[in-house]
Chain A
Amino acid sequence: MSNSNPTKLIQSHAQVLLFPREGKPFLAPNEWQVWDVQDESGLPAEYANSKVLVPFTWWRSQLDSRHEGSDVLTKAKKGQIGVWFAADDDILQHAELIESGKQYWPLVAAYFPLFRDGRSFSTAALLRDRLGWDKEIRMIGDVLIDQLLQGARVGFDSFALRHDQNLDVALKQFDLFTVTTQNSWRGKRSLLAIS
């Protein structure tokens, strides 16, 4: 299944919700734009001076290209490029590229084409558990209030919600449960403590 292109959701977000692994959730100004076009062209000029999340497939193509790779790396070395993974990107096939990307990307994102498409939950889990990604992972796309808790538990610590979502209600989601019955990125199952 191919992904429909993400609409420009994050650009218009003044704020994103951050929930560090150790700490409380809070709202923060959004510094990152999302470039959602995947073609052979270079990065549009509008992103020349801003931090931008580029499609992971585009990052791959640039590194494969002798001509444009250097420009991208120059920007990346300034900490201005991160990547976002489409729901059908098989990140395990590109573990080495992701390993090398760790030196450049301040954050990565995983895209939800539709809120009830849970593939990116596994992407985040694999980034944390298997690929050892320890910086920020952002949920982008059709991100709704009622998917935040699951996202937070599989490994996301950054959330760019769909425009129409109420951020005050969103902030309260993380307090709904004080116990868990399976391990997650945030902690061991509560049941272990009483066994």
Chain B
Amino acid sequence: MYKYDHIDQTLVDQRVAQFRDQVARRLNGTLAEEEFRPLRLQNGLYHQRHAYMLRVAIPYGLFNSKQLRTMALIAEKYDRGYGHFTTRQNIQYNWVTLEDTPDILAELAKVEMHAIQTSGNCIRNITSDAFAGVAGDEYVDPRPVCELLRQWSTLHPEFAHLPRKFKFAVNGAKEDRTVLLCHDVGIELKKNKAVNNGELTADIYAGGGMGRTPILGSLIQTDLPWQLLPSYLTALLRVYNRFGRRDNLYKARIKILVKALGPEEFARQVEGEWLHIKNGDDNFTQAEWDRVAKHFTKPAYKSLTALTNEQVINIASEADKTAFARWLERNVKPHQVPGYASVILSLKPHGTVAPGDATTAQMLAIADLADQYSFGELRVTHEQNLVLADVEQAKLYALWQEAKKQKVALPNVGLLTDIIACPGGDFCSLANAKSLPIAKAIQERFDDLDYLFDLGDISLNISGCINSCGHHHVGNIGVLGVDKDGEEWYQITLGGEQGNDAAIGKVIGPSFYADEIPDVITNIINTYVAHRNEDESFIDAYGRLGVIPFKEAAYQNAKKKGEADKTVGEDA
């Protein structure tokens, strides 16, 4: 993985010093809270419901065991013994103090980590495929581009005070694992012999996003040579910075501008700006590529023979075979190199405190597993799980036994209980409703692994407010917390999907009380089971049957206290 050179390191160290001074000025009263706020946000520091929350960047989701140990020790020393991995490939600490934050950042800087631009109205941490470099369906390793863009966007002076936050995702695989079309800018990397002499190019999608106005991004540029990304993105951001709406927080994202202008006109304006800078020296050089890309070479794989699943299962003891086979089916993914596989460690044990949470002890143990089984590297997925990307198939059984001890071996990846959820009203000051108890109640209701396996792939995502950090719009089943007259209610969406067929779910009707949600989900699931064809997934059955049978089932024993939530309906 990428290793800082002295320039990266100097920048991060100097950033710590800058923030230390800003905190000191805040504490001695010479910097007002209102003016400190955007500064701390650009360093990932939120003021939450109970305390400060620090969001630390894990650029494109890739990290190593040394960094994980530091994350674990920060959780122990400065927080309450756990960290929360997020859909944006960051880790968050919920209980830090303002006074400690510069020291935490200094500790992070020692292991080439930072919290720069993990929040605020600037270019956020760039996300990508958690299986970059190893996925069987990858046609371009996106990581050098991600790293070049990380550098280009870090402390970019012109775009430090955009109308709103700005999120990039980069994909280079056949299957989109980045929710590309739900980003302000999605960069789809390609290598096509017929284009640009087979050199790396990018298609650019702009104006996607979730939140209160979910919109899928529009294709605005094709076959952009990789070298020209900085000039093109500068042009794009310049148009947004100048003409994005600043009068209304809820209309300030680039998706609103793209929608208002129309994608063709937006693309034309970007092109008009780009013409003047496309041949300039902002563009990436081959030398820069070479310097960065050399860090993303393959690890020292052994020359192994690929094993069949049956061979792998046969390594397990008789007593373990069934459970181990389940884990292989759900949590182990194919790899580019024969004899290797990628393993997803589930951070969604049933009855969990919060999806994506890991304790200090778990983080330390997982760091050891990374060293022992996967060249010391890890990834965080946008579904809030961890990945050991390079595991020898012959060692999968041993790894599974170790992972079980840490309670990160539940074979529920991609199943109903692999819930994406934001921290919700338990922590977040923006939230209208809690999300964690809902996730827990659903996991408790669907605790039967046989049944979950029978149901197959279903995504269930929960957000505690319309900002949709829990990505409820792209869940097959989405749960959105809403506030009505001071009470917490939950609205259900169906039909959302991530991946290549990304879709925004539709609201099925009036919202429910929290204690109704497990029954509502059960009724929806029962409808699927009753009507599905053989081997038909939930989302396919929904597509065939339409919303009506699911809606009728959802409301069959509703308490009839709910009514359509007009506040949310207007804008959604």
8 A Cβ contacts from A139-195 to B? 144, 146-147, 149-154, 166, 169, 176-184, 188-192, 194-195
- Known A129-B276, A176-B17: A194·B5 in contact at CB below 8 Å: yes
Asked whether any CB of chain A lies closer than 8 Å to the CB of B10, the reply is yes
- Known A1-B245, A195-B285: A146·B276 in contact at CB below 8 Å: no
Asked whether any CB of chain B lies closer than 8 Å to the CB of A42, the reply is no
CB distance from B467 to the nearest CB of A (A): 19
A115 to B37, CA, bound (A): 12
CB distance from B30 to the nearest CB of A (A): 7
Interface size on A, residues (CB 8 A): 41
**Which A residues lie within 8 Å of B157 (CB)?**
121, 149-154, 184
Asked whether any CB of chain A lies closer than 8 Å to the CB of B488, the reply is no
Contact with A along B463-492 (1 / 0, CB 8 A): 000000000000000000000000000000
Inter-chain contact B14/A125, CB cutoff 8 Å:
no
Asked whether any CB of chain B lies closer than 8 Å to the CB of A119, the reply is yes
Asked whether any CB of chain A lies closer than 8 Å to the CB of B45, the reply is no
Asked whether any CB of chain A lies closer than 8 Å to the CB of B76, the reply is no
Inter-chain contact B151/A182, CB cutoff 8 Å:
yes
Inter-chain contact B238/A130, CB cutoff 8 Å:
no
- Known A1-B245, A176-B17, A179-B7: A195·B160 in contact at CB below 8 Å: no
Contact with B along A88-124 (1 / 0, CB 8 A): 0010000000000000000000000001111101110
CB distance from B296 to the nearest CB of A (A): 16
A150 to B159, CA, bound (A): 9
A116, A123, A169: most-surrounded residue (chain B CB, <10 A)? A116
**Which A residues lie within 8 Å of B241 (CB)?**
118-119, 121-122
Inter-chain contact A188/B281, CB cutoff 8 Å:
yes
**Which B residues lie within 8 Å of A149 (CB)?**
157
Q: Pick the residue among B31, B156, B285, B290 that contacts A182 (CB under 8 A).
A: B156
Asked whether any CB of chain A lies closer than 8 Å to the CB of B110, the reply is no
Task: Give the size category of B's interface with A.
Answer: 35 or more
**Which B residues lie within 8 Å of A147 (CB)?**
161
A179 to B5, CA, bound (A): 12
Inter-chain contact B11/A177, CB cutoff 8 Å:
yes
- Known A122-B242, A179-B11: A116·B121 in contact at CB below 8 Å: yes
- Known A118-B162, A154-B158, A176-B18: A182·B152 in contact at CB below 8 Å: yes
Inter-chain contact B158/A181, CB cutoff 8 Å:
no
Asked whether any CB of chain A lies closer than 8 Å to the CB of B247, the reply is yes
Residue of B nearest to A129 (CB): B277
Q: Pick the residue among A118, A144, A153, A154 that contacts B35 (CB under 8 A).
A: A144
Inter-chain contact A125/B238, CB cutoff 8 Å:
yes
**Which A residues lie within 8 Å of B407 (CB)?**
none
**Which B residues lie within 8 Å of A151 (CB)?**
157
- Known A130-B276, A146-B35: A118·B155 in contact at CB below 8 Å: no
Inter-chain contact A181/B288, CB cutoff 8 Å:
no
Contact with A along B231-261 (1 / 0, CB 8 A): 0000000100110011100000000000000
**Which B residues lie within 8 Å of A152 (CB)?**
157
Asked whether any CB of chain A lies closer than 8 Å to the CB of B536, the reply is no
A166 to B282, CA, bound (A): 34
Inter-chain contact A191/B155, CB cutoff 8 Å:
no
Inter-chain contact A117/B242, CB cutoff 8 Å:
no
Asked whether any CB of chain A lies closer than 8 Å to the CB of B522, the reply is no
Residue of A nearest to B161 (CB): A118
10 cross-chain pairs, A with B, having the tightest CB-CB distances, nearest first: A118-B161, A195-B287, A153-B157, A150-B157, A181-B151, A1-B247, A195-B288, A179-B7, A121-B158, A195-B291
Known A179-B10, A183-B282; 18 more pairs at CB < 8 Å: A115-B38, A121-B160, A122-B241, A144-B35, A146-B22, A146-B31, A147-B161, A153-B157, A154-B158, A176-B17, A178-B14, A179-B11, A182-B151, A182-B154, A189-B151, A191-B151, A191-B291, A194-B7
11 contacts between A and B (CB under 8 A): A90-B242, A115-B38, A116-B38, A116-B121, A118-B160, A144-B35, A154-B157, A169-B30, A182-B153, A188-B281, A192-B288
